[in-house]
Amino acid sequence: MIGPGAEVCSAPHARLAVGMGKRVEPRKEVAVPVRIFGTDSAGAIFSQKAVTVNISHRGVELSGVEARVAVNEIVGLTYGPNKVHFRVKWVGTRGSSNAGHVGLLNVSPGKPLWDFPLSPSSPDPYQPGMTERRQQPRYRCQTSIEIHVQNGPSFWGRLADLSLGGCYAEMSLPLEVGTKLQVAIWLGQEKVKAEAQVVHRTPGFGVGIGFTQLVPADADLIGRYLNTLAPLARKPLIGAALRASRSKA
Protein backbone atom coordinates (compact mmCIF):
# COMPACT_ATOMS: atom_id res chain seq x y z
CA MET A 1 0.00 0.00 0.00
CA ILE A 2 2.82 2.40 0.60
CA GLY A 3 6.33 2.44 -0.02
CA PRO A 4 8.61 0.55 1.98
CA GLY A 5 8.89 2.47 4.17
CA ALA A 6 6.03 4.79 2.84
CA GLU A 7 3.91 2.60 2.07
CA VAL A 8 0.25 2.67 2.92
CA CYS A 9 -2.37 3.44 0.32
CA SER A 10 -1.95 5.51 -2.75
CA ALA A 11 -4.91 7.83 -2.78
CA PRO A 12 -6.62 9.63 -5.64
CA HIS A 13 -8.10 13.12 -5.71
CA ALA A 14 -8.93 14.49 -2.24
CA ARG A 15 -6.71 12.07 -0.38
CA LEU A 16 -3.77 14.12 -1.58
CA ALA A 17 -4.40 16.60 1.20
CA VAL A 18 -1.94 15.31 3.78
CA GLY A 19 0.94 12.89 3.33
CA MET A 20 -0.24 10.82 0.39
CA GLY A 21 2.09 8.04 -0.82
CA LYS A 22 2.35 5.45 -3.58
CA ARG A 23 1.00 1.91 -3.48
CA VAL A 24 3.65 -0.76 -3.09
CA GLU A 25 1.48 -3.79 -2.34
CA PRO A 26 -1.71 -5.27 -3.77
CA ARG A 27 -4.72 -4.39 -1.64
CA LYS A 28 -7.75 -6.41 -0.67
CA GLU A 29 -10.99 -4.45 -0.88
CA VAL A 30 -12.80 -5.52 2.28
CA ALA A 31 -14.97 -3.82 4.90
CA VAL A 32 -14.56 -5.16 8.42
CA PRO A 33 -15.14 -3.37 11.75
CA VAL A 34 -12.09 -2.33 13.78
CA ARG A 35 -11.37 -0.08 16.72
CA ILE A 36 -8.77 2.69 16.40
CA PHE A 37 -7.29 4.30 19.51
CA GLY A 38 -4.49 6.67 20.45
CA THR A 39 -3.85 10.38 20.94
CA ASP A 40 -5.30 12.94 18.54
CA SER A 41 -3.59 16.07 17.16
CA ALA A 42 -4.76 18.07 20.21
CA GLY A 43 -3.22 15.58 22.64
CA ALA A 44 -6.53 14.05 23.72
CA ILE A 45 -6.90 10.29 24.09
CA PHE A 46 -9.51 8.73 21.82
CA SER A 47 -10.94 5.28 21.07
CA GLN A 48 -13.61 4.72 18.42
CA LYS A 49 -15.01 2.26 15.91
CA ALA A 50 -14.06 2.47 12.22
CA VAL A 51 -14.37 0.33 9.08
CA THR A 52 -11.64 -0.87 6.71
CA VAL A 53 -11.76 0.15 3.04
CA ASN A 54 -8.83 -1.92 1.80
CA ILE A 55 -6.00 -3.90 3.38
CA SER A 56 -2.50 -5.06 2.43
CA HIS A 57 0.15 -6.93 4.38
CA ARG A 58 1.67 -3.68 5.66
CA GLY A 59 -1.13 -1.16 5.58
CA VAL A 60 -4.82 -0.40 5.75
CA GLU A 61 -7.18 2.38 4.72
CA LEU A 62 -9.96 3.17 7.20
CA SER A 63 -13.19 5.14 6.90
CA GLY A 64 -15.35 6.68 9.59
CA VAL A 65 -12.45 8.05 11.66
CA GLU A 66 -13.80 11.08 13.53
CA ALA A 67 -10.71 11.83 15.63
CA ARG A 68 -8.29 14.38 14.20
CA VAL A 69 -5.16 12.30 13.85
CA ALA A 70 -1.81 13.67 12.70
CA VAL A 71 0.43 12.26 9.99
CA ASN A 72 3.30 10.16 11.47
CA GLU A 73 1.41 9.70 14.75
CA ILE A 74 1.32 6.12 16.13
CA VAL A 75 -2.14 4.69 16.69
CA GLY A 76 -3.45 1.28 17.68
CA LEU A 77 -5.95 -0.95 15.88
CA THR A 78 -7.85 -3.88 17.32
CA TYR A 79 -9.60 -6.50 15.23
CA GLY A 80 -11.18 -9.29 17.23
CA PRO A 81 -8.64 -10.32 19.88
CA ASN A 82 -5.67 -8.91 17.93
CA LYS A 83 -4.01 -5.54 18.51
CA VAL A 84 -1.31 -3.92 16.35
CA HIS A 85 0.23 -0.44 16.19
CA PHE A 86 0.26 1.59 12.97
CA ARG A 87 1.77 4.87 11.79
CA VAL A 88 -0.57 7.41 10.19
CA LYS A 89 0.64 8.03 6.61
CA TRP A 90 -2.13 10.21 5.19
CA VAL A 91 -5.39 11.82 6.28
CA GLY A 92 -8.38 12.63 4.05
CA THR A 93 -9.34 16.30 3.66
CA ARG A 94 -12.20 17.45 5.88
CA GLY A 95 -15.25 18.44 3.85
CA SER A 96 -14.22 16.22 0.90
CA SER A 97 -15.57 12.84 -0.21
CA ASN A 98 -12.66 11.25 1.67
CA ALA A 99 -13.25 12.98 4.98
CA GLY A 100 -12.80 10.47 7.79
CA HIS A 101 -10.45 8.28 5.74
CA VAL A 102 -6.90 7.60 6.93
CA GLY A 103 -4.03 5.50 5.57
CA LEU A 104 -2.01 3.51 8.09
CA LEU A 105 1.30 1.63 7.93
CA ASN A 106 1.95 -1.35 10.20
CA VAL A 107 5.03 -0.59 12.33
CA SER A 108 5.42 -4.30 13.21
CA PRO A 109 4.86 -6.14 9.90
CA GLY A 110 5.70 -9.50 11.46
CA LYS A 111 2.73 -9.21 13.81
CA PRO A 112 -0.50 -10.10 11.99
CA LEU A 113 -3.78 -8.34 12.71
CA TRP A 114 -6.13 -10.01 10.24
CA ASP A 115 -7.59 -13.53 10.34
CA PHE A 116 -8.20 -13.80 6.58
CA PRO A 117 -5.79 -14.28 3.63
CA LEU A 118 -4.30 -11.32 1.76
CA SER A 119 -2.68 -11.06 -1.67
CA PRO A 120 1.05 -11.86 -1.82
CA SER A 121 3.40 -8.92 -1.31
CA SER A 122 4.65 -7.07 -4.38
CA PRO A 123 8.02 -5.38 -5.07
CA ASP A 124 8.89 -1.80 -4.17
CA PRO A 125 7.04 0.95 -6.09
CA TYR A 126 8.23 1.58 -9.62
CA GLN A 127 9.31 5.12 -10.40
CA PRO A 128 10.07 6.39 -13.92
CA GLY A 129 13.79 6.39 -14.52
CA MET A 130 14.52 3.99 -11.69
CA THR A 131 17.32 1.73 -12.94
CA GLU A 132 18.15 -0.14 -9.76
CA ARG A 133 17.74 -3.92 -10.01
CA ARG A 134 18.35 -6.03 -6.93
CA GLN A 135 20.45 -9.19 -7.06
CA GLN A 136 20.15 -10.04 -3.36
CA PRO A 137 17.00 -11.14 -1.51
CA ARG A 138 15.57 -8.52 0.82
CA TYR A 139 14.17 -9.11 4.29
CA ARG A 140 11.63 -7.00 6.14
CA CYS A 141 13.07 -5.69 9.38
CA GLN A 142 12.71 -2.82 11.84
CA THR A 143 16.06 -1.48 13.01
CA SER A 144 17.87 1.84 13.23
CA ILE A 145 20.20 3.36 10.64
CA GLU A 146 22.57 6.32 10.91
CA ILE A 147 22.85 8.19 7.63
CA HIS A 148 25.75 10.57 6.97
CA VAL A 149 25.49 12.58 3.74
CA GLN A 150 28.89 13.15 2.14
CA ASN A 151 29.83 16.76 2.94
CA GLY A 152 26.37 17.24 4.42
CA PRO A 153 24.15 16.54 7.43
CA SER A 154 23.76 13.38 9.50
CA PHE A 155 20.51 11.95 10.84
CA TRP A 156 18.73 8.79 11.97
CA GLY A 157 16.22 6.68 10.06
CA ARG A 158 14.35 3.40 10.36
CA LEU A 159 14.90 0.42 8.07
CA ALA A 160 11.94 -1.22 6.36
CA ASP A 161 14.04 -3.91 4.64
CA LEU A 162 17.65 -5.05 4.36
CA SER A 163 19.80 -7.18 2.06
CA LEU A 164 23.49 -7.73 1.40
CA GLY A 165 23.19 -5.24 -1.45
CA GLY A 166 21.37 -2.40 0.28
CA CYS A 167 18.34 -1.35 2.29
CA TYR A 168 15.24 0.85 2.36
CA ALA A 169 15.21 3.61 5.00
CA GLU A 170 11.98 5.28 6.12
CA MET A 171 12.59 9.02 6.38
CA SER A 172 10.97 12.27 5.31
CA LEU A 173 14.14 14.10 4.21
CA PRO A 174 14.15 14.22 0.38
CA LEU A 175 17.59 12.93 -0.65
CA GLU A 176 18.32 13.01 -4.37
CA VAL A 177 19.11 9.84 -6.33
CA GLY A 178 22.90 9.48 -6.56
CA THR A 179 23.62 11.18 -3.22
CA LYS A 180 26.75 9.65 -1.65
CA LEU A 181 26.35 8.35 1.89
CA GLN A 182 28.09 6.64 4.74
CA VAL A 183 25.63 4.50 6.70
CA ALA A 184 25.76 2.62 9.98
CA ILE A 185 23.12 -0.01 10.72
CA TRP A 186 22.41 -1.39 14.16
CA LEU A 187 21.88 -5.16 14.23
CA GLY A 188 21.08 -5.93 17.84
CA GLN A 189 24.08 -4.77 19.86
CA GLU A 190 26.40 -4.68 16.84
CA LYS A 191 26.84 -2.02 14.17
CA VAL A 192 27.88 -2.43 10.54
CA LYS A 193 29.14 0.39 8.33
CA ALA A 194 29.07 0.83 4.56
CA GLU A 195 29.73 3.33 1.81
CA ALA A 196 26.48 3.78 -0.09
CA GLN A 197 24.37 5.94 -2.36
CA VAL A 198 20.70 6.70 -2.90
CA VAL A 199 19.37 4.54 -5.76
CA HIS A 200 15.69 5.56 -5.65
CA ARG A 201 13.35 7.55 -3.48
CA THR A 202 9.69 7.84 -2.53
CA PRO A 203 9.26 11.52 -1.55
CA GLY A 204 7.89 11.93 1.95
CA PHE A 205 8.39 8.28 2.84
CA GLY A 206 11.94 7.04 2.33
CA VAL A 207 14.87 6.15 0.11
CA GLY A 208 16.36 3.00 -1.37
CA ILE A 209 20.06 2.76 -0.54
CA GLY A 210 22.61 0.66 -2.40
CA PHE A 211 25.86 -0.38 -0.72
CA THR A 212 28.91 0.54 -2.78
CA GLN A 213 31.57 -0.65 -0.34
CA LEU A 214 31.07 -3.19 2.44
CA VAL A 215 33.96 -4.94 4.17
CA PRO A 216 33.71 -8.77 4.34
CA ALA A 217 33.34 -8.81 8.14
CA ASP A 218 30.31 -6.50 8.00
CA ALA A 219 28.81 -8.41 5.06
CA ASP A 220 29.14 -11.59 7.11
CA LEU A 221 27.43 -9.90 10.07
CA ILE A 222 24.52 -8.81 7.86
CA GLY A 223 24.25 -12.32 6.43
CA ARG A 224 24.12 -13.89 9.89
CA TYR A 225 21.51 -11.34 11.00
CA LEU A 226 19.31 -12.04 7.97
CA ASN A 227 19.52 -15.76 8.70
CA THR A 228 17.89 -15.12 12.09
CA LEU A 229 14.81 -13.55 10.49
CA ALA A 230 11.71 -15.61 9.82
CA PRO A 231 11.33 -17.00 6.26
CA LEU A 232 8.17 -14.90 5.81
CA ALA A 233 10.30 -11.76 6.23
CA ARG A 234 11.91 -12.44 2.84
CA LYS A 235 10.63 -10.22 0.02
CA PRO A 236 10.58 -11.28 -3.65
CA LEU A 237 13.22 -10.08 -6.09
CA ILE A 238 11.93 -7.61 -8.68
CA GLY A 239 12.55 -9.94 -11.62
CA ALA A 240 10.78 -12.85 -9.97
CA ALA A 241 7.83 -10.68 -9.03
CA LEU A 242 7.53 -9.30 -12.55
CA ARG A 243 7.63 -12.80 -14.06
CA ALA A 244 4.95 -13.93 -11.61
CA SER A 245 2.70 -10.97 -12.44
CA ARG A 246 3.11 -11.56 -16.18
CA SER A 247 2.24 -15.23 -15.82
CA LYS A 248 -1.05 -14.22 -14.16
CA ALA A 249 -1.89 -11.67 -16.84
CATH number for the domain harbouring residue 64: 2.40.10
Same domain for 9 and 93, yes or no, is yes
Residues 62 and 149 in one domain: no
Give pLDDT tens digits for 24-36: 567 788 888 999 9
Asked, for residue 232, whether it belongs to a domain, the answer is yes
Q: What is the pLDDT of residues 144-159, one digit of tens each?
A: 899 999 888 888 888 8
Q: Using the 8-state DSSP alphabet, how is residue 92 labeled?
A: P
pLDDT: which is higher, 241 or 227: 227
C-beta separation of 198 from 177 below 8 A = yes
Domains of the chain: total: 2
On whether residue 121 sits in a domain, the answer given is no
Q: For the domain that residue 183 is a member of, what is the CATH number?
A: 2.40.10.220
Span 174-183, pLDDT tens digits: 788 899 999 9
Q: Which domain holds residue 223?
A: 138-248
Under 8 Å between Cβ of 11 and 175: no
State which of 64, 86, 106 marks the end of a domain. 106
User: In the predicted model, what is the mean pLDDT of residues 159-166?
Assistant: 87
What mean pLDDT value characterizes the chain? 76
Distance of alpha carbon 59 from alpha carbon 56, whole angstroms: 5
Q: Which of 184, 190, 189, 187 is nearest to 226 (CA)?
A: 187
Task: Say which amino acid occupies 239.
Answer: G
* 155 & 74 share domain: no
Which tens digits make up the pLDDT trace of 54-105? 898 888 999 999 999 988 888 999 998 889 899 999 998 888 878 899 999 9
Same domain, 227 and 153: yes
- Number of neighbouring beta carbons within 10 Å of residue 133: 10
